[in-house]
A = this chain, B = another copy of it.
Amino acid sequence: MSRLDGRTFDEIRPVSMETGFAKHAEGSCLIKMGGTWVLCTASVEDGVPGFLRGQGRGWVTAEYGMLPRSTNTRSRRSLTGGRTLEIQRLIGRSLRAVTDMDALGERTITLDCDVLQADGGTRTASITGACVALHEACEYLRKNDRINSWPLKQLVAAISVGIVDGEPMLDLPYSEDSRADVDMNVVVTADGRYVEVQGTAESDPYTEESLAEMLRLARKGSDELVAQQRKALGLEPVAHG
């Protein structure tokens, strides 16, 4: 059964990742997944938060925002909504899980993910795009001889899956997401392990079998996104990260 936009249930939306979009940032990526566009920048600053000071280790953190009219109806500007804070915590955790903080040295990389246009899956697109921006920022550090070893252990990508009308689906746009029974976000590394699994039943709890199928779809999607990340970064189709 094909979906409104013609995709099959296990197909991701057309993806593009444009690096170097923000000329001031040490790394940046404008990621587009269908109608969801997120501008991700990586900013390098010396120093780390207080609780890490003096240990010679780095820190990666994230902030997430939506332009007020990125959505169908205008939303109020806000910095502290529960949803916003939850998403930026997720992005930060996901990228920290693939970063070698010792290699980074006592500096902080802040990943700003700002949604220019929203059509479902903004948090997962943010993670995927932020990873590209982070890679670029690491390149910047390497080129400027500020690090001795490569801090990004491997690439990481994220994708949404869900159950819509009883069927597991990959990469939900807003029209599907808003009527899904289950909404799941999965963050997967290039070597196929999980960084984060978050699956929420909106009203109808889900079974073991549904969970297994959704995870299978998510891994298929994330593999494809990692391939796109490598292409955007000009890396060989297979190797390191």
Contact = CB atoms under 8 A, between A and B. Distances in A.
Interface of A: 22-25, 28, 35, 39, 41, 43, 45, 63, 65, 67-72, 74, 77-83, 85-86, 88-89, 93, 96-98, 110, 112, 114, 116-118, 184, 189, 191, 193-208, 211, 215
B22 A116 contact: yes
Chain A at the B interface: SS class: mixed
Report copies per complex.
6
B97 A203 contact: yes
B201 A194 contact: yes
Given A45-B74, A69-B24, A70-B24, A196 B200 contact: yes
Contacts of A204: 97
A61 to B, nearest CB: 11
A79 B207 CA distance: 35
A107 B205 CA distance: 23
Contacts of A198: 196-199
29 contacts: A22-B116, A22-B117, A23-B35, A24-B70, A24-B117, A24-B118, A25-B69, A28-B69, A43-B68, A43-B69, A45-B74, A65-B67, A67-B114, A74-B112, A80-B80, A85-B86, A86-B89, A97-B204, A189-B205, A191-B205, A193-B205, A193-B207, A194-B201, A194-B208, A194-B211, A195-B200, A196-B200, A198-B198, A208-B215
